[in-house]
């Protein structure tokens, strides 16, 4: 009667959703302030004042039909020119408006990219730990997700393991840096090596292999870490960007795909992106927010809270006896669980009202994710509880 797969996707509760609901229930029992909810990647830093001002200015200066009307599917041409110029200024690239396709955030950007590229039998590679939605997005377009095992010492790429996953069926490799959930930023060396492996494989197989660079956390990179702009290292790259995290706008749904001129057959790739967007009912990215991001292009993200929270939590976890890679960006830590079964570990943490997400959900059993985009004071009060939890394992 209905599509079984869709029913399953729509009704099966995700672990994060289940944890969230548990948190709501406990909050009603013991009070909001006694729940330490580290489960959600919802930015707690307020949307910058300049974004609010841009909204107010646009609403008072422009004609309603120019604000709220349809735009062409790739997005307002002037907006795309402004954004391309801003990317060029910051990263030394040479894009123009025609290289951009505006989308409803990164989720839409990556799904459109998967659909645009996927042909029967195609494989898409992700590096564990990875954003769990990749699996559902890739499978929804008929592709197969191939997972490269993690390199836990630093969560960079294990190139030995990666080499074994690339086959003539590989259509694209998904890169997410700064990473959800590990907080790692891929170094320039990692990106160079990835590019060199893929260039050799493209030659061997005689067809392009794309990198899909999923970059909603690009702006959230800590001091000493730069996020290489992947198109400068590898021509067959699609960049998927979003303002959900950088400007704390996750509910507004705005982002873009960059398709560089150098990509194999620009016209066909851009055309397929437009086609994929069309069948996925894109129509156009939210019109008001297209105008807002154009006015805010190049403005900085406020990452001070994330820097402070990351340092505090990292040190607290290390002091409590956890093993954890130092945060380099985004707003997540991905420590090792204190028992092999990460579900059992996260269940035990609930005793202290610490809400953590098992690593298995990210393709990495034995670990857990802590999202620290929450109040600093909550993190401070959680540290003795992490200590108590760790003491149970001694």
Q: Does 105 bind ligand PLP (CB under 6 A)?
A: yes
Q: Binders of ligand PLP: how many residues, by CB under 6 A?
A: 13
Question: In the set 150, 255, 335, 358, which binds ligand PLP (CB under 6 A)?
Answer: 255
Q: Does 250 bind ligand PLP (CB under 6 A)?
A: yes
Give backbone dihedrals phi and psi of 332, rounded to 5 degrees, phi first: -135, 150
Query: Of the listed pieces 53-61, 72-80, 105-113, 153-161, which binds ligand PLP according to CB under 6 A?
Result: 105-113
Q: Does 158 bind ligand PLP (CB under 6 A)?
A: no
What string marks each residue from 198 to 217 as x (binds ligand PLP by CB under 6 A) or -?
----------------x-x-
Q: Which is nearer to ligand PLP, 214 or 302 (CB)?
A: 214
Binding to ligand PLP (CB under 6 A) within 335-364 occurs at none
Q: Which is nearer to ligand PLP, 338 or 374 (CB)?
A: 374
Tokens representing residue 169 in the block: 């069926």
Give backbone dihedrals phi and psi of 123, rounded to 5 degrees, phi first: -115, 145
Question: Shortest gap between Cβ of 332 and ligand PLP (angstroms)?
Answer: 9
Short-list 288, 285, 248, CA closest to 56: 288
Question: Shortest gap between Cβ of 140 and ligand PLP (angstroms)?
Answer: 15
Question: Shortest gap between Cβ of 230 and ligand PLP (angstroms)?
Answer: 15
Tokens representing residue 84 in the block: 């391309």
The answer to whether 313 and 76 have CB atoms below 8 angstroms apart is no
Q: Which residues contact 154 (CB under 8 A, 6 or more apart)?
A: 184, 325
**Cα–Cα distance measured from residue 289 to residue 174, given in angstroms and rounded to the nearest whole number:** 26
Query: Of the listed pieces 84-92, 103-111, 196-204, 280-288, which binds ligand PLP according to CB under 6 A?
Result: 103-111
Give backbone dihedrals phi and psi of 36, rounded to 5 degrees, phi first: -115, 85
Question: Shortest gap between Cβ of 182 and ligand PLP (angstroms)?
Answer: 11
Give backbone dihedrals phi and psi of 175, rounded to 5 degrees, phi first: -115, 135
Question: In the set 176, 177, 290, 301, which binds ligand PLP (CB under 6 A)?
Answer: 176
Let me know how long the chain is: 394
Pairing of strands 36-37, 237-242: unpaired
Whether residue 129 is preceded by a cis peptide bond, meaning omega within 30 degrees of 0, is yes
Question: Shortest gap between Cβ of 330 and ligand PLP (angstroms)?
Answer: 8
Question: Shortest gap between Cβ of 103 and ligand PLP (angstroms)?
Answer: 9
Query: Of the listed pieces 104-112, 262-270, 295-303, 365-373, which binds ligand PLP according to CB under 6 A?
Result: 104-112
Pairing of strands 368-371, 357-358: antiparallel
Short-list 392, 388, 375, 308, CA closest to 35: 375
Beta bridge partners of 336: 367
What string marks each residue from 31 to 60 as x (binds ligand PLP by CB under 6 A) or -?
----------x-------------------
Interacting residue ranges for ligand PLP, rule: CB under 6 A: 41, 105-107, 131, 176, 180, 214, 216, 242, 244, 250, 255
């Amino acid at each position: 009667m209905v599509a079984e797969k869709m029913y399953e996707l729509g009704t099966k509760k995700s672990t994060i959703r289940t944890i969230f609901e548990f948190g709501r229930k406990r909050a009603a029992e013991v009070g909001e302030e006694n729940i330490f909810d580290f489960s959600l990647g919802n930015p707690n830093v307020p949307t910058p004042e300049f974004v609010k001002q841009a909204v107010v200015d646009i609403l008072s200066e422009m004609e309603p039909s120019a604000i709220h009307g349809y735009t062409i599917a790739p997005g307002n041409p002037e907006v795309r020119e402004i954004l391309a110029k801003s990317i060029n200024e910051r990263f030394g690239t040479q894009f123009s408006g025609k290289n951009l396709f505006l989308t409803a955030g990164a989720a839409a950007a990556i799904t459109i990219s998967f659909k645009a590229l996927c042909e029967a039998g195609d494989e898409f590679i992700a590096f564990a730990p990875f954003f769990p939605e990749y699996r559902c997005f890739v499978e929804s377009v008929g592709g197969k997700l191939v997972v490269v095992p993690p390199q836990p010492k630093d969560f960079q790429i294990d190139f030995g393991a990666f080499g074994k996953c690339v086959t003539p069926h590989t259509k694209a490799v998904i890169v997410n840096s700064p990473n959800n959930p590990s907080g790692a930023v891929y170094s320039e060396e990692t990106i160079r090596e990835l590019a060199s492996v893929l260039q050799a494989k493209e030659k061997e197989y005689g067809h392009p292999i794309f990198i899909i660079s999923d970059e909603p956390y690009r702006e959230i990179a800590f001091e000493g870490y730069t996020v290489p702009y992947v198109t400068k290292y590898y021509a067959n790259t699609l960049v998927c960007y979003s303002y959900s995290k950088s400007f704390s706008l996750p509910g507004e749904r705005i982002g873009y795909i960059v398709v560089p001129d150098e990509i194999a057959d620009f016209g066909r790739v851009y055309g397929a992106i437009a086609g994929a967007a069309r069948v996925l009912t894109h129509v156009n990215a939210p019109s008001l927010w297209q105008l807002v991001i154009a006015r805010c292009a190049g403005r900085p993200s406020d990452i001070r809270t994330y820097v402070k929270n990351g340092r505090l939590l990292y040190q607290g976890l290390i002091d409590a006896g956890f093993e954890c890679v130092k945060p380099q960006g985004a707003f997540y830590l991905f420590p090792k669980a204190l028992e092999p079964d990460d579900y059992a570990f996260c269940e035990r943490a609930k005793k202290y009202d610490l809400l953590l997400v098992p690593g298995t959900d990210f393709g990495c059993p034995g670990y857990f994710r802590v999202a620290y985009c929450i109040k600093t004071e909550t993190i401070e009060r959680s540290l003795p509880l992490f200590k108590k939890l760790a003491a149970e394992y001694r």
